[in-house]
Amino acid sequence: MNLRYDDEALAMLTAALAAELKVQGRRLVTAESCTGGWIAKLCTDLSGSSAWFERGLVSYSNEAKRELLGVPASRLYRFGAVSEEVAADMARGALANSRADFAIAVTGIAGPDGGSPDKPVGTVCFGWALPDDIVETERRRFDGDRDAVRRASILTAIGGLLDRMSRQS
pLDDT tens digit sequence for 51-110:
999 999 999 999 999 999 999 999 999 999 999 999 999 999 999 999 999 999 999 999
pLDDT over threshold 70, residue 5 = no
The CATH classification number of 7-164 equals 3.90.950.20
pLDDT over threshold 70, residue 129 = yes
Q: Whole-angstrom Cα distance, residue 106 to residue 6?
A: 19
This prediction has a pTM of 0.95
Q: Whole-angstrom Cα distance, residue 8 to residue 79?
A: 35
- Maximum distance among all Cα pairs of the chain, rounded to whole angstroms: 44
Q: What's the average model confidence in pLDDT over 39-48? A: 98
pLDDT tens digit sequence for 21-30:
999 999 999 9
Supply the angle between the helices 62-69 and 84-96 in degrees, to the nearest 10. Answer: 40
pLDDT over threshold 70, residue 111 = yes
pLDDT over threshold 50, residue 2 = no
Residue pair 142/124 in contact (Cβ under 8 Å)? The answer is yes
